[in-house]
Amino acid sequence: MTGILENFTIHEVFKRTLNGKTPYPHQLETARNLIKGKSVVLRAPCGSGKTEACYASFLLGKGSSLPSRLIYSLPTRALVEEISDRIDQGVSRTGLLLDVAPQHGANSRDPFFKSDIVVATIDQTIGAYCCTPLSLPAYLGNIPAGAAVSSFHCFDEAHIYDRYLGLQSTLVLIERARLLELPFLVMSATLPDSFVHWFQKRFGNEDVAVVEGCDECVPTRRRRDVVLYWKDKLLEIADIFQGTERFEKVLVVCNTVDRAQMLYKQASSQLRRQGFEIFLLHSRFLDDHRKNIEERMRANLRSEKGKTCLITTQVCEVGLDISCDLLLTELAPADSLIQRVGRCARRGGKGEVWVFDVEYSAPYEEYEMTSSRDYVLQQLDAKRIGWTEELRFVDSLLNERFESIMNDENRRHRILKRLSDAAFKGSRREVEDNIREILSANVTIHDNPKDLRLDELLHMPWIDVDVRVLKRNLLEKAKFWQVNFEHDENGEPDFHITSTNDFYPYEYYVLDSDYAQYTPELGLSFGEKGESLKPLDIPLRPRSRSEYQEESWLDHAQNCLDAFIQIKNRELHALRLLDRLINNNDLNKTEGIVALSIATHDLGKLNKDWQESIGVKMTDYPLAHTPRKIKVKTPHATVSAYAMSRMLESLLAHTNYAIAFELAIGHHHHTRAEHVPQYTLCWQEIYRKLIEKITEKYGLDSNEQVEDQIPMATRLDTSFFDFENIKQYTAYCVISRFIRLSDQASFEVGRQTS
């Protein structure tokens, strides 16, 4: 073991992250396998420390048996916030100064995936992997991609992923990781045996270890005594009042937001008179309001004093580390129901679960509800529910279905093709279409949206709502408008608003306040008159760097090389991966070729036309940047790539890897650029000396020269690397990241040395 905590035993590291508590056997077994370089599938009960098993293992193996970066993927934004805070606290207890950052659509703290630990939604991870980030413009896509293809991946709460889309996309990434000999970790409490067995069959026991938790190994689970009762009726307000007469910590889970809102409005006044703090939580709250509710609700549930009732929806199934004495829940499929049951007596003790029938199966499939109803009635009614019973429940209802899903090679191949197509186009929508069936639209409330400016519309409080819910509640009776955000003919942001008579996924809609209302207590609801919402007071993001200062071409090249030395130390594992891919078996030489690519990435700026366009004459010293705002129409990145192509081919044994370097240079301003203009490189003495200096330092041997001119415009070999060509695509992403991060960081290096 030679990770960053090499002087600590596995037990010591876990005790620190667990704040002095003794680690569980499944946590230790997970760590021992991962630091040996094996991948792990971890199946353990709710509340048994799976998250700590992941990041403590990462700390033990970071930079040695494990990559230097952990990307921890989750299905929901709320879960990302919860887990990132949890990991940050645990890491801080070790004394290590590592960066932990959440990354999702509403909190894009690390879109370039620079942190040591990135906790992201699964769509952010897959988008980054496909050079199509969901929180960055597409032209920056190969920067986070370089991290996504070379990191240690953990996929948590895998049972929540869309089984036909998100799960299959995840398996594509997992299969690619193993081909590159990168370990992964998959975790869940509610996955059937067939899911686990697929990994053993696919990769073998030597590559993938299956780790199982148990109730007996976890004190809180061992002391847990939860009994389930089937209620052959619909959940009504009287049932909540009956429960609150006997229990002080009560959780009520509905299958739809409308049902949760209705029960909350009916119950709130009387429960408050009984001394209860009552909360409503669902998916139609603004982030700040939802966070506030969660914080107050958690504090009340964890307090030994006081009565608390939470009325919620499926949002409680993942990401809410809460415990109740009584759970009243509407019937749900096996995996969802077990997640809900996991919130009852989560920290040990006695608890009861009351399961109520439903009038309609929505939002679930009818056959899922029928099979779940039959099993609960026949096998679980009036029975104690532990880990063994939970696994039997899942296996009985989901095992055959998952076996079919996991072994559907044709479906996964189609997903691979679709991801490849999304990567080639840089299409965010196509990435999202491969993760989940998007049925939601973005809505806000305003009576006169045509009076709003673009910046006001962009900063309106938008809420995701299922289009089927919108149609059911609003289509025949409400007034609403569609907002189309676009760009004008000069590429400037623009929009237009039109009246419409239907709702479609992805789109933006403004609802008239006569038909919808939003309050911090109830969230977004329909059928009652509300008020127009106001744009959020969101400060503009600071510029990523100050305006350009005048910088010579050679100074910029040297500053980039200096920045690369610092970046290389943080991304050394990625450099080692690149060395393996290009079959050098010579890390110094691989580093040298990357350094050469970084030094010459702006070679195209020595094009006579480019320098003249910024006012530099042939008798002047060439510049890389100027403080004057000049729109240069002559591209330079693709010129750099084309000019270096023959030299790169002579340094690399395989042409495909030379093309990976070439494209990485050509794409250092825009992923997917391909047009190469006619050019003539001047100031040969400057760039030749720089190239000679680098080749001598790293022992690079090339008999090829820079292609210093072409008489007519042409194109690079391709606009984008073949996503399905795993090794070459990975190399391209890693090289691109080194070049672009070095380019970005060079400005800070330049300021420090000036």
Handedness of CA 697, 701, 705, 706 (dihedral sign): negative
Fold of 10-217: Rossmann fold (3.40.50)
Task: Examine the pLDDT at 430 and tell me if it is beyond 70.
Answer: yes
Per-residue model confidence (pLDDT) at position 542 = 46
pLDDT tens digit string along 683-733? 999 999 999 999 999 999 888 889 999 999 999 988 888 899 999 999 999
If one compares 220 and 110, the residue with the highest pLDDT of the two is 110
Higher-pLDDT residue of 542 and 221 is 221
Grouping H, G, I as helix, E, B as strand and the rest as coil, residue 150 is coil
pLDDT given for residue 543 in this prediction: 46
Question: For residue 641, what pLDDT is reported?
Answer: 97
Q: Does the pLDDT at position 50 exceed 80?
A: yes
Q: What is the pLDDT of residue 485?
A: 84
Residue 544 is predicted with a pLDDT of: 45
Residue 223 pLDDT > 90: no
Q: Are strands 224-234 and 307-312 parallel, antiparallel or unpaired?
A: unpaired
Average pLDDT over residues 487-506: 78
How far apart (Å, rounded) are the C-alpha atoms in residues 180 and 199? Answer: 16
Give the contacts of 407 (CB within 8 A, at least 6 positions apart): 198
530 is written with which tokens? 């509300």
Rounded Cα–Cα distance for residues 378 and 368 (Å): 16
Tell me the CATH architecture of domain 223-385.
3-Layer(aba) Sandwich (3.40)
Taking residues 292-314, what's their average pLDDT? 92
Our measurement of the distance from residue 464's CA atom to the centroid of its chain's CA atoms, rounded to an integer in Å, reads 18
Encoding tokens for residue 399? Answer: 């095992």
- Comparison of pLDDT for 366 and 7, the residue scoring more: 366
pLDDT exceeds cutoff 50 at 311: yes
What kind and span of H or E run contains 436?
none
- The amino acid that residue 200 corresponds to is Q
The answer to whether the beta carbons of residues 312 and 260 sit under 8 Å apart is: yes
Q: What is the pLDDT averaged over residues 377-398?
A: 94
pLDDT for 5 beyond 90: no
In this structure, are strands 152-155 and 679-680 parallel, antiparallel, or unpaired?
A: unpaired
Least confident residue range of 243-257, 493-507, 536-550: 536-550
8 Å CB contact between 556 and 743: no
Average pLDDT (584-609) is 95
Q: Are 10-217 and 223-385 equal in CATH topology?
A: yes
Give me the residue spans of the domains in the chain. 10-217, 223-385, 440-526, 551-753
Q: Give the pLDDT band (50/70/90) at residue 76.
A: confident
Task: Look up the CATH number of domain 551-753.
Answer: 1.10.3210.30
List, for residues 146-180, the tens digit of each pLDDT value.
999 999 999 998 878 888 899 999 999 999 999 99
Q: For the chain, what is the largest distance between any 2 Cα atoms, rounded to a whole number of angstroms?
A: 91
Q: What is the pLDDT of residues 112-135, one digit of tens each?
A: 999 999 999 999 999 999 999 998
Q: What is the number of residues in the chain?
A: 754
Q: Is the pLDDT of residue 488 over 60?
A: no
Q: Is the pLDDT of residue 754 over 90?
A: no
644 with 659: CB under 8 angstroms? no
Q: Report the amino acid identity of residue 174.
A: I
pLDDT mean across residues, the chain:
91
Amino acid at the residue 628: R
| Residue in the block written with tokens 């008999």 | 703
Is the torsion defined by CA of 646, 648, 653, 659 positive or negative? Answer: negative
What's the pLDDT at 487?
63
Report, as an integer, the average pLDDT of 659-681: 95
Average pLDDT estimate for 513-520: 95
- Predicted confidence at residue 545, as pLDDT, reads 44
Of 494 and 226, the structure prediction assigns the larger pLDDT to: 226
Provide, rounded to the nearest whole percent, the portion of the chain with pLDDT above 90.
74
More confident residue, 351 or 76: 351
Query: Helix, strand, or coil here: 463?
Result: strand
Q: What is the pLDDT of residue 216?
A: 84
Q: What is the CA radius of gyration of the chain?
A: 28
**For residue 655, what pLDDT band results from cuts at 50, 70 and 90?**
confident
Q: Provide the pLDDT for residue 546.
A: 43
Q: Is the pTM of this model over 0.85?
A: yes
